[in-house]
């Protein structure tokens, strides 16, 4: 199994940062210094994304990403996982498969069922997924890089690390991007949410271009211990559009989780 590339900084409660599609440590570049001032940050880049090689013999699936994350978390005591976009599904599945290991989840503009949020029936999601997978497999590396540059440029806005986020996407493996995005659109984890046994904070832009607030709340209705934090006037890359506010939200959550753990140990 391929291994994840990790950048580690700071001391304190472990924060494990899981990027979204075609993302790496660049996703968090605008906030990593602020997070590392109060926590031990583990910023991950998965095989196939942001220039990290994915061996030809290795699976490009979301399940393989979950396997890598579960293995990484097994070596960390009481981590908080902070996940963005596609990484939200990876983190949720890892939490279900690792009962008692995570002490917190921060889920940033991602949902258990992307197709349901879009209002798509399963058949439509499967057709879209097959088309997307074929499009990325059929293009040259240069063609896929140009396509991803356009897609990500439209999402990142004009935050301080937008260029780095876009560049990371263009260095991603087309097979990994195509397979994982296709699988995301046919994945529905809503029935598994009741097995998540840690406190969860869902961070969302307001307003969101992907759906109304009520649709997001419905997505997480089965999650046992969760609350929402909304950030006004930002896009999908909340941490890039409002880095100070995002760092404040995550740092405060991590501090509260750590304080609760200390109180429980007395």
CATH number at residue 125: 3.40.50.1820
pTM, full prediction: 0.96
Task: Please check whether residue 175 lies inside any domain of the structure.
Answer: yes
In a domain, 52, yes or no: yes
> What is the extent of the structural domain holding 94?
5-181+196-265
Cβ neighbors of 95 (< 8 A, separation 6 or more) are 81, 102, 105, 195, 196, 197, 198
Is the pLDDT confidence value at 262 over 90? no
From residue 131, how far is each of 63, 117, 134 by CA, in Å?
20, 19, 5
pLDDT tens, residue by residue, 120-164: 999 999 999 999 999 998 888 889 999 999 999 999 988 899 999
Report if residue 190 sits inside a domain. Answer: no
Please tell me the predicted confidence (pLDDT) of residue 264.
67
Residue 233 DSSP label: T
Strands 104-108, 199-206: pairing is parallel
Of 135 and 83, which is predicted with more confidence?
A: 83
pLDDT digits (tens, 9 = 90+) for 63-75: 999 999 999 999 9
In this predicted structure, the answer to whether residue 266 has a pLDDT above a threshold of 50 is no
Give the C-alpha separation, 17 to 190, whole Å: 22
Establish if 191 belongs to a structural domain: no
Contacts of 168 (CB under 8 A, 6+ apart): 22, 23, 24, 26, 27, 49, 50, 51
What is the total count of domains within the chain? 1
Confidence tier at 56 by pLDDT (50, 70, 90): confident
Provide the mean pLDDT of the chain. Answer: 94
Q: Can you tell me the mean pLDDT for 36-50?
A: 97
The predicted pLDDT at position 139 comes to 83
Query: Residue 119 above 50 pLDDT?
Result: yes
Is a pLDDT exceeding 90 seen at residue 202? yes
**Residue 189 lies inside a defined structural domain of this protein:** no
Q: Is 258 a member of any domain?
A: yes
pLDDT band per the 50, 70, 90 thresholds, residue 57: confident
Residue 41 has pLDDT above 80, yes or no: yes
Q: Is residue 39 part of a domain?
A: yes
- For residue 94, being part of any structural domain is answered with yes
């Amino acid at each position: 199994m391929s291994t994840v590339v990790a950048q580690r900084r700071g001391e304190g409660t472990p924060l494990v940062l899981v990027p979204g599609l075609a993302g790496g440590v660049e996703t968090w570049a605008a906030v990593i210094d602020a997070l590392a001032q109060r926590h031990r940050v583990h910023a991950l880049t998965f095989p196939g994304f942001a220039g990290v090689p994915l061996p030809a013999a290795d699976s490009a699936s979301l399940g393989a990403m979950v396997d890598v994350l579960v293995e990484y978390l097994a070596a960390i005591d009481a981590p908080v996982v902070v996940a963005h976009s596609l990484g939200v599904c990876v983190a949720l599945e890892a939490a279900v498969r690792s009962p008692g290991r995570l002490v917190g989840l921060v889920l940033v503009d991602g949902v258990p069922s992307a197709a349901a949020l879009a209002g798509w029936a399963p058949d439509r999601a499967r057709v879209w997924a097959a088309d997307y997978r074929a499009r990325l497999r059929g293009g040259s590396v240069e063609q896929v890089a140009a396509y991803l540059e356009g897609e990500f440029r439209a999402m990142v806005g004009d935050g301080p690390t937008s260029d780095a986020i876009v560049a990371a996407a263009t260095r991603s493996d087309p097979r990994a991007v195509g397979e994982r995005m296709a699988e995301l659109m046919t994945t529905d984890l809503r029935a598994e949410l009741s097995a998540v046994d840690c406190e969860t904070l869902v961070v969302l832009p307001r307003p969101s271009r992907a759906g109304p607030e009520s649709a997001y709340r419905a997505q997480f209705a089965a999650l046992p211990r969760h609350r929402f934090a909304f950030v006004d006037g930002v896009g999908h890359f909340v941490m890039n559009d409002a880095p100070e506010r995002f760092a404040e939200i995550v740092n405060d959550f991590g501090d509260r989780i750590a304080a609760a753990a200390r109180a429980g140990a007395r």
